[in-house]
Amino acid sequence: MEASWEQSVTDSINTVYLLFSAYLVFVMQLGFAMLCAGSVRAKNAMNIMLTNVVDAVVGSISYYLFGFAFAFGDGSNSNPFIGTNFFALFNIPNTSYDYSFFLYQWAFAIAVAGITSGSIAERTQFTSYLIFSFFLTGFVYPIVAHWVWSSSGWLSPSSSDLLLGSGAIDFAGSGVVHLVGGIAGLWGSFIEGPRVGRFDVFGKPIQMRGHNATLVVLGTFLLWFGWFGFNPGSFDKILVAYPNTSQGNWTAVGRTAVTTTLAGSTAGLITLFGRRLLVGHWDALDVCNGLLGGFVAITSGCSVVEPWAAIVCGFVAAWVLIGLNILALKLKFDDPLEATQLHGGCGAWGLIFTGLFAKEEFVIQAYDSGESGVVRPFGLFMGGGWGLIGAQAIEVLVIVGWVSLTMGPLFYGLHKLGILRISPEEEIAGLDISTHGGYAYAHHEEDQPRFYADYIRVQN
């Protein structure tokens, strides 16, 4: 049956909106690359930028072949654990999904591997990046996405059989994206161990600052920009009117952008003053990570909370990040990008925050298009009972368990095979010269080899 022109216009506007959101999320890859490059030492800048490119290109193939099917492959034989249709986009487009939806979800998938790459930066063999990026993007992450975002997923708030009568609300992925990436990075960094020289013989941490604050700030603002596709874009459609009101998804999209901004800004501000009290100076790099921690935390509940609640979210997220960074140093845990603490810790807080502060009206708007007469569990502190917060806690636990059971053995296996970590000599020289043929910058320290051939002569 031919669609009416009104329906065609509606579908076109919604498709353009989703594609534009996908492009914004993809810009986050550039943000990750700049943030990572600025946060490592100059001798490893080319390596970390290449790994960000690899995350995108390898993730594209694995998500096309397997990932999308595992995440959204619903059908007559669908099940709550894993998708079973649409491998290599077979039978796409259809009545449920089209190419624009795939592109948007692909942009999310490749972000997960970028998070993990930061945790194991400056000491990892390049071959390992290829292996874990393919596995994480094509299998580990899509399973979690299926649980929460597929209509047949057992954690999904859109399921016909809601967990605890609620399902877990993880609107844009504090858990599905950030906690998955953070826990994967936790295991990679733990199994590899700290970088050479990160702790002295007495276990005291030795500071290894990134080489370029300009790149860190640039990357942070690019990520902020991309987050306006990450969070508001997760509505998928903008031209959806709510009944008995002049509002629609366009209203919720605007509110989601506001809550995202407020949470990130609050976290950045609290981190600025918190770190000032702890270290005695104003640190731009700490503020950037604090800002991102607020964005990570609000990502779960961005569409279902009031703006004032977003400020609460960002306030707590800053202290979660600061506290976990202190704990990491005490445990001699070395994550150059603070990715485990930032994405893992703040992602977990974001899920719990949603269970406490989600507003019923907004939950119905996000998951039932504002339909009248619908009753849903909502935030505990908002009077909504224990159903939602229980589902949120379960999501935290199962993500930690699933990623640990999959990525932990993978990193351990790579370690036992001797292809995970580079040698101490290569690490001291830097991955750029020992693996990639030369430094990222034309001018480098004069007492260091400048090209791969010079490095080989020094080794011999």
Amino acid at 231: N
Of the pLDDT bands very low, low, confident and very high (cuts 50, 70, 90), residue 450 is low
Predicted pLDDT at 453: 59
What gap in Å lies between CA 327 and CA 338, rounded to an integer?
Answer: 12
Name the architecture of domain 14-421: Orthogonal Bundle (1.10)
Of the pLDDT bands very low, low, confident and very high (cuts 50, 70, 90), residue 163 is very high
Of 125, 114, 133, which is closest to residue 52 (Cα–Cα)? 114
pTM of the model: 0.94
Q: What is the mean pLDDT of residues 158-170?
A: 91
Q: What is the mean pLDDT of residues 63-72?
A: 95
For 72-116, the pLDDT digits (tens) are 998 767 789 999 999 999 999 988 899 999 999 999 999 999 999
Residue 246: count of CB within 10 angstroms of its CB: 7
Percent of the chain residues past pLDDT 70, beyond the cut: 95
Concatenating the DSSP letter of every residue in 349-372 gives: HHHHHHHHH--HHHHHHHHHTT-T
For 106-154, the pLDDT digits (tens) are 999 999 999 999 999 999 999 999 999 999 999 999 999 999 999 999 9
Chain centroid to CA 389: 22
Say if CB 148 and CB 62 are below 8 A apart: no
CA dist 208 → 82, 122, 258, 334, 358 (Å): 42, 11, 35, 10, 40
Of 172, 153, 159, which is closest to residue 111 (Cα–Cα)? 172
- Mean pLDDT of all residues belonging to the chain: 92
Whether pLDDT at 49 is above 80: yes
For 186-216, the pLDDT digits (tens) are 999 999 999 999 998 888 999 888 999 999 9
Predicted pLDDT at 65: 96
For 229-269, the pLDDT digits (tens) are 999 999 999 999 999 888 999 999 999 999 999 999 999 99
Whether pLDDT at 36 is above 60: yes
Residue 340: count of CB within 10 angstroms of its CB: 27
Predicted pLDDT at 99: 96
